A and B are shown apart, each in its own frame.
Chain A
């Protein structure tokens, strides 16, 4: 049930709300900012809405701001205090907004009562801040407003049609709302997260979709572009700018005009190009390679990285001014699959449903349904238990509890990308086997075992094992042939004959870095931390891997 916090020095709102909205839960009211902050901290994630009064008849010590010296210097202390009391709600709103930017707050005052016009404009411009429409509170209007806000908050949890699974946990709901706010704004967005966490998907499907920008979504993976061609690719080039520039070509910035530009692996941008990108953010202009004239552009910039940009700045590899312009205070980090154990079961069900929509699996499902006398295009479910009743309106994939545990406990270094592909394979292999031996399946017998029920499709534990085994990280401890290798921080190196000691050394280092990369789930920052004790040294590691000829994309694909 939604919980609502009332911040009011009296019980008036509480009385009214309890009388006219018995279906909602109201927390004990907070009488001042201190109490409100405390309640919000204690009920983090479970408060869905705040009702905030503006006038607080409370002692001087409880009034915000804490330091009133400057205010007292402006005039009569009593008048200052009176003004503060009359507008205390607005003082309280500030720190709440800073700490909980997407928590809906209804400011319970009429526009006429706001101290200055700018306050009304500011409040109305803010997302998730609502002003009551009436001078005098009407419980029905308030109820309508509250119900509408709460309904909007509940809707995301149930969305199944989005390509990214947000789930219903408080952390993911907050992340979703936060991104939704950022998407509508003009400022750039930094998305952080390990490989396969869906950074590019979120940028394309969620942020761009909500940005309300008419232009296209253009994505560039900077880790795949040779450094010397990056400038031309991004900013375009004029004919004759350099040898080989045989024609004038527009860059991705031109293509993204009016839309969203997504720069993946922003840490790969050279310092020189960082300066050019800074100009885009500061002035809204850029200059194609070899051009004299600047071109104006209007785009929403979204950048992604799995490195620590702040550490890059400290190491002098990323411009501080660009970093600050990228709006680091609002950077969002997409959690890995390992960090989403709370809603793993829902994630499993969601990805299985999506796997069932893939054309090959869809055809197999229809084939299976046809063989078992069921309708085509049936929806699918997945679970660890057999549904008590047969239901010809859906197909239920039955996962043995041990298989579920295997999937649940697996490390998933490739995160959701790897998870989705594994489940898709799981469905395919299960269905192919079933379709091929459909003729041999006994019709439902009097005992009604799940194997005979046409609506239940058992996923063989062996198939789960077969799919996960090749992807499992190598055992850190090897008894043979290197008995001295022990502990989780050890790696097994396969010695190979080479032409020179240098080649042997490179070969060893290559294996070493590749295995570390896999073990760290593709997080170069973690590799750097393991090797150099500095999470900011991921870029150093990446450069070394490049020198050794290690292709990161190959490793990523292998992980998936």
Chain B
């Protein structure tokens, strides 16, 4: 077994679980109607939970999605060893840009950002899932 690929597979598994799974934990289940029209509290609550408190460890403060990504991708080689990781990196940047609007519950800003946020969430999930499957097949 290729140790490098095996290690990478394990790291991606962690990313898929911790970031991919929880980055859209509540918001992926929202009604379609909430992604258009006036910004509803349910949307803000779900996005706040998923992006600002992606992981809530038993000890320590909740981790936003971008902090989680920084921590979990810190040990990955640069340039990215897989194109999917670059996609995730770019998608996380989109989420990070929505932080001020989420923290202030700025409905007008969120109305214009939500489409991009949703697409970024999907990208993160899909890219990590595909990459994990590909690496599993390789190891």
Q: Do A and B come from one complex?
A: yes
A11 within 8 A of B: yes
With beta carbons under 8 angstroms apart, the residue of A10, A16, A135 that contacts B29 is A16
Residue of B nearest to A143 (CB): B29
Over the window 127-159 of chain A, the binary record of Cβ atoms lying under 8 Å from chain B Cβ atoms (1 yes, 0 no) is 000000001111110000000000000000000
Q: Could you count the A-B residue pairs with CB atoms below 8 Å apart for me: how many are there?
A: 52
Question: A137 to chain B: which residues have CB within 8 Å?
Answer: 21, 25
Question: In the complex the two chains form, what is the Cα distance from A113 to B132 in whole Å?
Answer: 9
The verdict on A68 contacting chain B, using a C-beta distance below 8 Å, is no
Distance between A389 CB and nearest chain B CB, rounded to angstroms:
46
A439 at interface (Cβ–Cβ under 8 A)?
no
A136-B58 CB under 8 A given contacts A15-B26, A15-B49, A112-B132: no
Contacts of A140 in B (CB 8 A): 29
Q: Which of B14, B18, B58, B125 contacts A9 (CB 8 A)?
A: B58
Residues of A with C-beta under 8 A to B21 = 135-137
Number of A residues near B (Cβ < 8 Å) is 21
The reply on B66 being an interface residue by CB < 8 A is: no
Is A233 among interface residues, defined by CB-CB distance under 8 A?
A: no
Q: How far is the CB of B58 from chain A (nearest CB, A)?
A: 6
CA distance A448 to B18 in the complex (A): 71
The answer to whether A58 and B20 touch (CB under 8 A), given A15-B26, A19-B26, A135-B129, is: no
Q: Please, which residues of chain B bring their CB within 8 A of the CB of A58?
A: 58
A55 to B55, CA, bound (A): 12
What's the Cα separation between A138 and B16 when bound, in Å?
15
A136 touches B28 (CB 8 A): yes
Residue A12 contacts which of B14, B20, B22, B58 (CB distance < 8 angstroms)? B22
Which of A9, A112, A138 has the most chain B CB atoms closer than 10 A to its own CB? A112
Do residues B57 and A16 form an inter-chain contact, with CB atoms below 8 A? no
Interface of B is mostly: helix
> B1-19: which residues lie under 8 A (CB-CB) from chain A?
13-14, 16-18
Closest chain B residue to A142, Cβ basis: B29
- The smallest beta-carbon distance between B118 and chain A, in angstroms, is 14
- Min Cβ gap B57→A in Å is 6
Chain A residues closer than 8 Å to B20, beta-carbon distance: 135-136
Question: Is B28 within 8 A of A113, CB to CB?
Answer: no
Q: Which of A1-50 contact B (CB under 8 A)?
A: 9-12, 15-16, 19-20, 31
A residues near B132, Cβ cutoff 8 Å? 112
Closest residue of chain B to A55 (Cβ to Cβ) is B17
A86 interface hit (Cβ, 8 Å): yes
Contacts of A138 in B (CB 8 A): 28-29
* Shortest distance between the CB of B43 and any CB in chain A (Å): 13
Interface status of A57 (Cβ within 8 A of chain B): yes
Query: Is A12 a contact of B25 with CB atoms below 8 Å?
Result: yes
Q: Which positions in B face A, CB cutoff 8 Å?
A: 13-14, 16-18, 20-22, 24-26, 28-29, 49, 55-58, 125, 129, 132-133, 136
Taking Cβ atoms with an 8 Å cutoff, the residues of A that contact B are 9-12, 15-16, 19-20, 31, 55, 57-58, 86, 112-113, 135-140
Name 9 interchain pairs, CB-CB below 8 A, sorted by A.
A10-B58, A15-B26, A15-B49, A16-B25, A20-B29, A57-B58, A86-B13, A112-B133, A136-B129
Other 6 A-B pairs with CB < 8 A, given A57-B57, A113-B13, A136-B21: A10-B57, A16-B29, A112-B133, A136-B20, A138-B29, A139-B29
Sort A-B residue pairs by CB-CB distance and give the 3 closest, nearest first. A139-B29, A135-B129, A10-B56
